[in-house]
């Protein structure tokens, strides 16, 4: 007899009891259901069963700000829509538009109104138009809000329910264990209608942390998720979610209540009529990051944060030693889950995920090379009062302009190789718009905005950009064309399904990063080989185990290979996708 799964109400009540043990779980569960499914919406009778059908080999994502492309005349969201349809359709099918709400700082991550689109970008109809042709990801900036927004102003005035929306602490509290990504003071003194208070600020004093011990905060964010979904959003990115739950005297990161809240959101998504994917953003070391899969019942997807620093090191050093060692130890994503693979985003290249994966001297070589290229380094505060490199600030394209040994003529080939690794691995590939557009470091933005991350947040003038893309001799045209061609090939290969089997191959030469992918139905195999060096490298075919009596060919060039051939030769920074076809 088939086992009866717990009902929606029962599953929610169990989680509510973990998060809010002092409240009536049945009453709060009912309020949660009403918040997520207001009148006029419907839900599934049974929750989705975890499977691999939420995504496919056709999925690939571009990450962009709503105003990464401007012209001074049209709404930036209209320009973005035009760019997506004109240049990316057929290569990528999904877009992450970074916070598109009114804000006061941090390029959108100090939200002042969660229910509106920033009028400088456009409006909700512009968002919906993009979602009609591309899968859309939005940001749920749920750890904090702007100090100048309506929620915090109502808190200062003691207005219900916002008077209990923000996390307060005392300067006398023991906060020595708190883990933070910034060096600014954790607490900020503010004057309220009830007298002076000290509010918790994980990121900056313009970003005031919310207090999820108050269930009204959770309910409000569930209503906000519903607003996003009703406007065409399919992927919800839980920004800075690791810091969600705070407790004085603890590290205030990865606490059990945080994981339980994600599990609660996952249950709601499983019962939603719409397809909703939860993606957690946790820029932390490997084991901590993997914990957000839970037992397959938390996030649908997590960022593969070790990839950027490890690929950066591999391309700069010409050795995949550390990248391969890490990849061999990575588990496949649980059923119903996937990795999001990337090398660059709107933030810098995080160095915390490299902890325990890259030796300190190798990390230092990467840092010094990035600085030699004009890149910057952002620091984080340590509990002992010291500082440690938190992220490298540079565009990934600029970082590929040289190796540990200096500059050469392989810049574009080296960069495309780095992005091809992202395409080859288990998971969903994602590309920052400035990687697709070969954008150099923007030091003017650093000076103008007064922050290191401005170096990686250039705003392209659309007529200028189109002229560059129309000229086949420019880096912009060569990179976008090269990556688009590979993405169009990739999307036709079942062996590149995000959950297709993967095995890391030890070629015996540290210059070659190699993985074997096999489609879920086991019909297609792809041996993905990547030469990360500036030298020609010969590989023994015995190392890649091509099956006899099948036709093997490189998907990228069409060149044929035979199991009886003794060797395969790769030019500097060449990639091969050797497949037995379909």
Local confidence pLDDT in tens for the 582 residues of the chain: 344 568 999 999 999 999 999 999 999 999 999 999 999 999 999 999 999 999 999 999 999 999 999 999 999 999 999 999 999 999 999 999 999 999 999 999 999 999 999 999 999 999 999 999 999 999 999 999 999 999 999 999 999 999 999 999 999 999 999 998 888 999 999 999 999 999 999 999 999 999 999 999 999 999 999 999 999 999 999 999 999 999 999 999 999 999 999 999 999 999 999 999 999 999 888 899 999 999 999 999 999 999 999 999 999 999 999 999 999 999 999 999 999 999 999 999 999 899 999 999 999 999 999 999 999 999 887 777 788 888 999 999 999 999 999 999 999 999 999 999 999 999 999 999 999 999 999 999 999 988 999 999 999 999 999 999 999 999 999 999 999 999 999 999 999 999 999 999 999 899 999 999 999 999 999 999 999 999 999 999 888 888 887 889 999 999 999 878 889 999 999 999 999 975
- Final residue in a domain of this structure, among 496, 516, 547: 496
Is residue 139 marked as binding? no
Instruction: Tell me if 37 sits within 8 A of 275, measured CB to CB.
Output: no
Tokens of 352: 């915390």
Q: Are residues 482 and 534 in the same domain?
A: no
Domain housing 343: 61-141+216-496
How much is the pTM?
0.96
Dihedral over alpha carbons 191, 197, 202, 204 (to 10 degrees): 20
Strands in 447-541 per DSSP E: 460-461, 501-505, 512-518, 525-531, 537-540
The Cβ-side half-sphere exposure at 392, using a 13 Å CA radius, reads: 30
d(CA 455, CA 442): 4
Q: Would you say 565 is a known binding-site residue?
A: no
Residues 105 and 118 reside in one and the same domain: yes
Residue where the block lists tokens 């103008």? 448
Residue 35 within a domain: no
**Is 144 labelled as part of a ligand binding site?**
yes
Tokens standing for residue 509: 């030469």
CA dist., res. 93 & res. 431, Å (int): 12
Number of domains in the chain: 3
Residues 477 and 507 in one domain: no
Q: State whether 184 and 242 are in the same domain.
A: no
Q: Check whether residue 326 and residue 188 sit in a common domain.
A: no
Q: What is each CA distance from 420 to 286, 438, 488, 504, 581, in whole angstroms?
A: 22, 15, 12, 15, 19
Domain membership of residue 38 (yes or no) is no
Closest to 417 (Cα-Cα) out of 538, 528, 338, 562: 528
Strands 552-554 and 560-561: antiparallel
Question: Annotated binding residue at 543?
Answer: no
48 among annotated binding-site residues: no
**Residue 356 forms part of a structural domain:** yes
State yes or no: 123 annotated in a binding site: no
Which residues form the catalytic set?
239
Q: Are residues 318 and 461 in the same domain?
A: yes
């Amino acid at each position: 007899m088939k086992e009866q799964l717990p009902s929606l109400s029962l599953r929610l009540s169990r989680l509510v009891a973990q998060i809010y043990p002092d409240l009536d779980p049945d009453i709060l569960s009912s309020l949660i259901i009403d918040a997520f499914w207001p009148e006029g919406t419907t839900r599934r009778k049974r929750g989705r069963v975890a499977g691999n059908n939420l995504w496919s080999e056709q999925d690939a994502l571009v990450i962009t700000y709503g105003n990464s492309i401007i012209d001074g005349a049209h709404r930036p969201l209209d320009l973005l829509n035009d760019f997506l349809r004109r240049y990316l359709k057929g290569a990528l099918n999904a877009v992450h538009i970074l916070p598109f709400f009114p804000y006061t700082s941090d390029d959108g991550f100090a939200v002042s109104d969660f229910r509106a689109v920033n009028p400088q970008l456009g409006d909700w109809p512009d968002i919906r138009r993009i979602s009609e042709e591309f899968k859309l990801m939005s940001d749920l900036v749920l750890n904090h809000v702007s100090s100048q927004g309506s929620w915090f102003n109502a808190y200062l005035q003691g207005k219900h329910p916002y008077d209990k929306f923000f996390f307060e602490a005392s300067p006398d509290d023991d906060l020595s264990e708190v883990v933070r990504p910034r060096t600014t003071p954790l607490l900020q003194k503010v004057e309220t209608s009830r007298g002076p208070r000290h509010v918790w600020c994980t990121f900056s004093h313009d970003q005031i942390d919310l207090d999820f011990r108050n269930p009204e905060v959770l309910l409000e964010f569930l209503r906000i998720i519903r607003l996003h979904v009703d406007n065409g959003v399919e992927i919800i990115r839980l920004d800075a979610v690791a810091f969600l739950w705070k407790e004085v005297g603890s590290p205030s990161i990865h606490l059990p209540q945080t994981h339980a809240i994600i599990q609660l959101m996952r249950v709601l998504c499983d019962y939603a009529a719409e397809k909703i994917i939860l993606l957690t953003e946790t820029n932390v070391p490997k084991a901590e990051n993997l914990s957000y899969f839970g037992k397959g019942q938390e996030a649908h997807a997590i960022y593969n944060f070790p990839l950027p620093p490890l690929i950066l090191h591999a391309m700069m050093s010409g050795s995949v030693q550390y990248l391969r060692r890490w990849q061999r130890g990575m588990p496949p994503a649980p059923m119903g889950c996937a990795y999001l693979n990337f090398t660059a985003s709107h933030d810098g290249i995080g160095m915390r995920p490299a902890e325990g994966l890259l030796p300190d001297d190798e990390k230092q070589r990467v840092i010094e090379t990035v600085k030699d290229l004009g890149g910057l380094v952002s620091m984080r505060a340590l509990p002992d009062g010291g500082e440690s490199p938190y992220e490298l600030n540079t565009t990934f394209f600029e970082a590929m302009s040289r190796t540990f040994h200096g500059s050469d003529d392989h810049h574009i080939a080296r960069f495309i190789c780095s992005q091809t690794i992202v395409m080859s691995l288990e998971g969903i590939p994602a590309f920052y718009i400035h990687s697709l557009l070969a954008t150099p470091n923007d030091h003017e933005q650093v000076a103008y905005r007064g922050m290191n991350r401005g170096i990686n947040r250039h705003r392209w003038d659309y007529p200028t950009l189109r002229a560059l893309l129309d000229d086949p001799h420019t880096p912009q045209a060569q990179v976008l064309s090269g990556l688009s061609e590979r993405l169009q090939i990739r999307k036709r290969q079942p062996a590149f399904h995000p959950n297709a089997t993967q095995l890391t191959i030890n070629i015996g030469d540290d210059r070659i990063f190699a993985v074997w992918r096999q489609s879920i139905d086991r019909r297609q195999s792809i041996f993905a080989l990547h030469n990360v060096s500036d030298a020609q490298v010969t590989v023994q075919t015995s190392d890649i185990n091509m099956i006899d009596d099948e036709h093997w060919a490189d998907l990228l060039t069409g060149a044929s290979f035979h199991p009886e051939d003794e060797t395969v030769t790769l030019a500097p920074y060449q990639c091969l996708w050797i497949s037995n076809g379909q």
